[in-house]
Amino acid sequence: MERRVVVTGIGLVTPLGIGVDETWSALIAGKSGIGEITRFDTTDYGTKIAAEVKGFNAEDFMPKKDAKRTETFIAYAIAAARMAVEDSGLIIDNQNGHRVGVLTGCGLGGLNMLEVTARTVENAGPKRVSPFFIPLIIGNMAPGMISIQFGAKGPNSSVATACAAGAHAIGDAYEIIKYGKADAMITGGVESVITRTCIAGFGAMKALSTRNGDPSRASRPFDKDRDGFVVGEGSGIVILEALDHALARGAKIYAEMAGYGMSGDGYHMTSPPPDGEGAARCMQAAIDDAGIQASQIGYINAHGTSTPLNDLYETRAIKKVFGDIARNVPVSSTKSMTGHLLGGAGGIETVFSTLVLKNGILPPTINLDNPGEECDLDYVPHVARKAEVSYVMTNSFGFGGTNASLILKKYSG
């Protein structure tokens, strides 16, 4: 028997704030978290902007000793997980720990530590390498350390499907609970790679915005003047729980997980197919899994990266799935404010989608001054909109042609 799965806790570390309230307030106010890069000297770089997390102190979420030897992406994940667990009121102990798992997505892992260590080897030799080097760069150390922090001894895994990783992690965790392999999962996405090689690498691909003189307006999904995405960082974690388990302990319920779709483009290393065929199949698979009609979707949190091809091809995919009603479905890209968190995007955007259902407010797409060619959907431009919706879809698409769509529904008992 398949179990119903609900969201009972949420946690956020984002370029818009530390915590759910601070981030959500900034998001619906249309504020940008993008500014000049402070992590390194950008003199020789074409792109000098990113969406950095500000004011984060790892010691607020873990012992000082642990904070000092924890790579940033792991610290963000632990912090968001702590917020989510505390928000949910879930007690994890020796009695139930084996039924609580952790599954997070991350695209690139500890890239900063990798860079630092490469320079150490080059300049000081191999004997100066930290014994923590390997544990601090591997992506699965995020769920591993969360598991250790909370005593969650159920299924423990990580997903590395590029920019779809966070959404895939949540979808996989949903199915783990749905089919009875755990009662609750701590799940989401994380990324922290605002580093020399990351910015250089995406810059070499011509994937990044170079609107350096006006950072807050650089990420402009669906706008005709979009010139690339802006790298962001942070973590979004949700507590997924079997409905019967949540009800038995009197948990508050934010929303219900309703559907999960996956697909592969089989087309190109970095570009989606022009007709959006792979993304369309992914969205349709999520709709079918939820057992609903496309017309029941009241809002789409788009992948919406602000790159010329992605925004156009995702728009075409939405039209393919929704047909004549496509222009009636509100669509927005919160990446216009947070930047693109890569493997962490699906985590924060699932939290945003949950809050849309809870609060009845659709976040805007800022900087959408003049929609690009064929970008003619309702992208909720500039200003948040009140709207009571029953179903929300969130999309995440990654390099290699890997796609994920999640559907959440308003919980009605």
Which domains does the chain show, CATH number per domain?
1-398 (3.40.47.10)
∠ Cα 241 243 246 (to 5°): 65
* SS3 (DSSP) at 198: helix
Look at residue 68 and tell me whether its pLDDT is greater than 90.
no
Catalytically active residues are 163, 303, 340
Look at residue 168 and tell me whether its pLDDT is greater than 80.
yes
Whole-number pLDDT of residue 91? 97
Residue 39, both tokens: 């992590």
pTM: 0.97
| CA–CA dist 133, 114 (Å, integer) | 8
Residues 295-317 have pLDDT tens digits of: 999 999 999 999 999 999 999 99
Which backbone phi and psi does 25 adopt, to 5 degrees? -60, -45
Residue 262, both tokens: 């996956």
Strand partners, 6: 241, 256
Residues 17-44 have pLDDT tens digits of: 999 999 999 999 999 999 999 999 999 9
Look over the chain and give the mean of its residue pLDDT values, rounded to a whole number: 97
Alpha carbons within 13 angstroms on the beta-carbon side of residue 29 total 11
